[in-house]
Structure 1
Amino acid sequence: MARRGRTAARQAVKMCAAALAAFGAAAWPARADWRDDIGTFRIGIVAEPGGGNTIPGLARLTEAYANALGMKVEFVVARDYAALIEAQASGRVQYAVYSALAYATASERCGCVEPLVAPVDADGAVGIRSVLVTRDGRLPDLAAMASHRIAIAPADNVGGALLPLAALSAEGIRIARDSPFLARAASATAAETMLAGGEADALFGWEPAAADGQPSHSDGTVARLEAAGIAEASLRVLWTSSLLRYGPHAVRSDLDPEAKRRLTVFLSNLKSQTPDVYDLLERAHSGGFTPALPKDYAMALAIVRLTGGKE
């Protein structure tokens, strides 16, 4: 009898515990999944010139992101980077595809964005550096610039004008855009022609570079000058800037960590697993995506601060 009493008591305790658990589940609302909080995940992208408000392969891209996140996805096509920055800063889009300077501008605008990944070239270059190139020793060193003629690209050219002036300023060498020794060319190609034809003693140009800073010689100012017939031995790079990384895919900093993880994995594997989708998403750089950090855009921030946020 005593044994049966103890068994009945244990069963009663278990029933009470189950009832309390059920009551607690009913009394407290279930914690919403981050997907429920967002509803529709919106991705902002700038329209290509002449593309209107559509982008090639939109259905395929939407499907790929929806599968990666496990939720509804919608692309928002912005007319320009200013509109895209405003959309992400206000929370209308959670994710944006930026140029380096547009990302830096967004970071300055709200401090609410962070990069996930950035593209890489097939040869491993992750960005560009500015270079100061002279021919036949016409410019002996950086300190002698003021007494020589230095060709420079138009004021809005990133690699040939914005980057060198911002990078030199960061090193304590401040050069005004209208300095008399700077010979402003009509284009980057025109600046190269000035050096080749003897109208300038040196030239601010650019070169692709890997994450470790090593240059890629497949493209850039020196490669273009050599292709134009100038002997490699007559060219000398006197100075190189810090790296300006290619523009990132960035999310709002308050996005759930699981969403960030899923997106990073998806994008990092995109080139190898679904190259057709990668080609739709990234047309300029064919080497895939690699993770990016805010510190990778220090040089972009320096340019934005030097120019007051104007690309």
Structure 2
Amino acid sequence: MARRGKTAAVQVAKVCAVALAAFGAASWPARADWRDDIGTFRIGIVAEPGGGNTIPGLARLTDAYANALAMKVEFVVARDYAALIEAQASGRVQYAVYSALAYATASERCGCVEPLVAPVDADGAVGIRSVLVTRDGRLPDLAAIASRRIAMAPAGNVGGALLPLAALSAEGVKITQDSPFLARAVSATAAERMLSGGEADGLFGWEPADANGQPTHTDGTVARLEAAGIPGASLRVLWTSGLLRYGPHAVRSDLDPEAKRRLTVFLTNLKSQTPDVYDLLESTHSGGFVPAAPKDYAMALAIVERETAGKE
């Protein structure tokens, strides 16, 4: 009899312990999910010229991102990259689609952004390099540029002006926008004509390159010169810059790691799984998205730093 009473008491004690544990767990404050902290995930993008404040396929893109993140998503269309950078730096948007130089500017502005992915061309090119091209041996090597006439695209041209100036300066070659041996053309096409017509001994141009920095030979200045009728055998590339990656999709660095993971998986599989949505998001580079890292934009940062120093 005593033994039964003792057993019953133990069982009652166990039931009470379970009940108290359940009560305690129910009374603890729920742990906030990163989605709750954000509320609405906002994606910033710059409208195409003449596009106003909308972008093609907006509803389809919104649904795709919302499904990937399992939360409400809203696109914010910025008037230009300066407005987009300010929106992300201030935290009004968590995610932004940038050009390479716009991303570098955002990184310099707040140090609060990081690239997730970047697009690739169908031929494997992930960005461009600047090249110094000569024809018929008119320019023997890079060291001779100061005594020759070198054609260069307008000051704002990335591959034919900004990139070579930044890359050469980083290599210790003294060159500025006003160097007397530079013959500034009104366009990249006009600079190519200067070389083909004999008005210049060399030309700063560009070429697409893969992740290892190797040219893909499917586009660029040499390909354009050959298409214009200049024999390829008469052309020689004397110098190439570091790689300038295509612009990334970047997030704020303080975004929850799970959100970053979900976005990376979604984007890197987008081309193969939902190609029509990929085409809405990326109309220029048709090879899909690959993961990107801050180090991939060292050349872009060098350009931005040089341009910023020149304005001070």
TM-score bracket relative to the smaller structure: over 0.9
User: How far apart in 2 are the matches of 1:77 and 1:118?
Assistant: 20
Asked if structure 2 preserves the Cα contact closer than 8 Å seen for 1:304 and 1:310, the reply is no
Query: Could you say if the C-alpha distance between residues 148 and 39 of structure 1 is closer, same or farther in structure 2, counting changes exceeding 3 Å?
Result: same
Query: Could you say if the C-alpha distance between residues 12 and 172 of structure 1 is closer, same or farther in structure 2, counting changes exceeding 3 Å?
Result: farther
User: How far apart in 1 are the matches of 2:271 and 2:2?
Assistant: 71
Query: Could you say if the C-alpha distance between residues 121 and 309 of structure 1 is closer, same or farther in structure 2, counting changes exceeding 3 Å?
Result: farther
Could you say which residue in structure 2 is the equivalent of 1:126? Answer: 126
Confirm or deny that 1:194 pairs with 2:194.
yes
Query: Could you say if the C-alpha distance between residues 150 and 8 of structure 1 is closer, same or farther in structure 2, counting changes exceeding 3 Å?
Result: same
RMSD over aligned CA atoms reads 1.4
Deviation at 1:303, TM superposition (A): 0.3
* TM-score, normalised relative to structure 2: 0.97
Could you say which residue in structure 2 is the equivalent of 1:25? Answer: 25
Aligned length: 311
Could you say which residue in structure 1 is the equivalent of 2:211? Answer: 211
Query: Could you say if the C-alpha distance between residues 19 and 146 of structure 1 is closer, same or farther in structure 2, counting changes exceeding 3 Å?
Result: same
Could you say which residue in structure 2 is the equivalent of 1:287? Answer: 287
Deviation at 1:171, TM superposition (A): 1.1
Q: Deviations over 1:15-57 (max 9, x none)?
A: 2332332343244211011111110000000010000000000
Q: Deviations over 1:187-228 (max 9, x none)?
A: 000000000000000000000000011101110000000000
Query: Could you say if the C-alpha distance between residues 136 and 6 of structure 1 is closer, same or farther in structure 2, counting changes exceeding 3 Å?
Result: farther
Query: Could you say if the C-alpha distance between residues 48 and 12 of structure 1 is closer, same or farther in structure 2, counting changes exceeding 3 Å?
Result: same
Asked if structure 2 preserves the Cα contact closer than 8 Å seen for 1:245 and 1:296, the reply is yes
Could you say which residue in structure 1 is the equivalent of 2:245? Answer: 245
Structure 1 counterpart of 2:4, one-letter code:
R
The sequence identity of aligned pairs, in percent, is: 87
Deviation at 1:169, TM superposition (A): 1.2
Query: Could you say if the C-alpha distance between residues 184 and 6 of structure 1 is closer, same or farther in structure 2, counting changes exceeding 3 Å?
Result: farther
User: How far apart in 1 are the matches of 2:13 and 2:171?
Assistant: 74
Query: What's the secondary structure of 1:61's corresponding residue?
Result: helix
Deviation at 1:108, TM superposition (A): 0.4
User: How far apart in 2 are the matches of 1:124 and 1:153?
Assistant: 26
Moved >6 Å (runs of 4+): none
Asked if structure 2 preserves the Cα contact closer than 8 Å seen for 1:150 and 1:181, the reply is yes
Could you say which residue in structure 2 is the equivalent of 1:226? Answer: 226
Which runs of no fewer than 5 residues in structure 1 stay unpaired? none
Which runs of no fewer than 5 residues in structure 2 stay unpaired? none
User: How far apart in 2 are the matches of 1:282 and 1:129?
Assistant: 21
